[in-house]
Homo-oligomer: A and B are copies of this chain.
Amino acid sequence: MSVLDPSIVQKLKQAAGPSGWSEDPAEIAPHLREWRGRWKGESQLLLRPRETGDVARILSVCDETGTAVVPQGGNTGLVGGQIPTSGEVLLSLERMNRIRSVSLEDNTLIAEAGVVLASAQKAAGEAGRLFPLSLAAEGSCTIGGNVSTNAGGVNVLRYGMTRDLVLGLEVVLANGRVLDLMRGLRKDNTGYDLKQLFIGAEGTLGIVTAAMLKLFPKPAGYTTVLVAIPGVEVAVELLNRLQDFSFRLMTAYEIMERRALDLVFKHIPGTADPFPEHPGWTLLIEISNPSAFDATEALEQALARALEEGRIVHALFAKTARDREALWRLRETIPEAQRLDGASIANDISVPLSRIAEFIRSGEQAVRAVLPEARVFTFGHVGDGNLHFAVQAPGHDAALLAAREAIERAVQEETAKLRGSISAEHGLGLAKNDAIARYRSADEITLMRALKQTLDPKNILNPGKLLPSGRG
């Protein structure tokens, strides 16, 4: 670890204010540990600004002294983007956790970067509105991290990614200047839309300090149904049919392979197969109803027709809120069941909807070519083409983990062949920043590097993340 010049440390402490820093290794330690232990960071200085002005002063010092800084939100990232691996200064936004305003007329909420996602959801809810971003880490991930990783989650089908939910941003640039992009207008064609640059940039182009977010009406109720289908091909066809019918009021269209559910029934107490016989694939479909109507009856009719036609095998509607919770539990506990069952390798990929069935076949073949004992199961947000493609090898955990790199590579190659994405939701960070050089064109990488050079000429913002390490 490179040791910081004491005079730089002094300047940074001053910039962060009296209670805005720590050099105590015990205080710093939790920020350095990626929660699954896949990356271990090092940093001698933790900065905890309270205000945008603090961040601006800190970045001015970093710019002046060429000091690298790693921004961190809730430290829940899955690709290592939040970990300082080369002794960079750690800039935690956790104390910038105010909700600056909620406007019911404008349907907006302004949250600082350190606001925990669940707190933003809660503030929206208390105002009678919905902030629809929802994902597993919502109890600890932060708005700044959500914006910087363009977070996805379970409601993307209806509400889009974080990019679609951001109306304005406040960003501190590498040179310490504060960019106020908070106009928050639904229509504003006055030159380049600069905020787009920082969404999903993983803190490599600027530090997001606050975001103006879109609010939506709260659903009046839900129509939730578990549907068993004979094969994955039916999933996309049924999706389009139901979209047509419900007009994108559908908020979830999740797929679960038989083996994923079997793991749940095996490991998660209180779960059981709700169907008398269990075909290969199950869908969890949810429509969020406006107050004007309830889709349940219409969906019942549509699925009754699909049943008659032999397209679906069973359909089980949630009759109560508790039913709904039980159905969602089947989907939400898959990752936990997977962990309890032994080693596994997760792959966060997406492919065009038309290629999903093809990918599931060819992806499994590719994995087995690496490790014949491997078994694959798929679950995920099929409505977005986003599959969590999980690889296990029961009884061969050591062999599986030894083959991790080759398996990930094989899945990435199959994904790329079908013009898919090797990182649908989680980003690149340290985990896939080199891989991306294989799957985006040289011209794209060149342009990405040029943007990085333009916005961060001294390479002080989260260096070594997102861009391939090969050069520059």
Residues of A whose CB lies within 8 Å of any CB of B are 103-108, 149-150, 152, 156, 160-161, 163-164, 173, 177-181, 183-194, 196-197, 199-201, 205, 216-220, 236-237, 240, 243-249, 288-293, 295, 298-299, 350-354, 381, 384-386, 419-428, 432, 436, 439-441, 443-444, 447-448, 450-451, 453-455, 466-467
Contacts and interface: CB of A to CB of B under 8 A. Distances in A.
A193 B196 contact: yes
Contact of A245 (B156, B177, B291, B454): B291
A105 B236 contact: yes
Nearest to A292: B298
Contacts of A244: 217-218, 290-291
A163 B454 CA distance: 24
A219 B247 contact: yes
Contacts of A248: 216-217, 290
**In the assembly, how many copies of this chain are there?**
2
B295 A295 contact: no
Among A187, A194, A384, max chain B CB count under 10 A is at A187
18 contacts: A105-B237, A106-B353, A156-B186, A163-B193, A179-B444, A179-B447, A183-B420, A185-B351, A185-B352, A185-B420, A187-B350, A187-B385, A188-B350, A191-B440, A191-B448, A192-B205, A196-B196, A454-B454
A370 to B, nearest CB: 22
B288 A428 contact: no
Contacts of A200: 189, 192-193
Closest 10 CB pairs of A and B: A247-B290, A105-B354, A196-B196, A188-B421, A292-B298, A187-B424, A217-B244, A186-B384, A293-B293, A187-B350
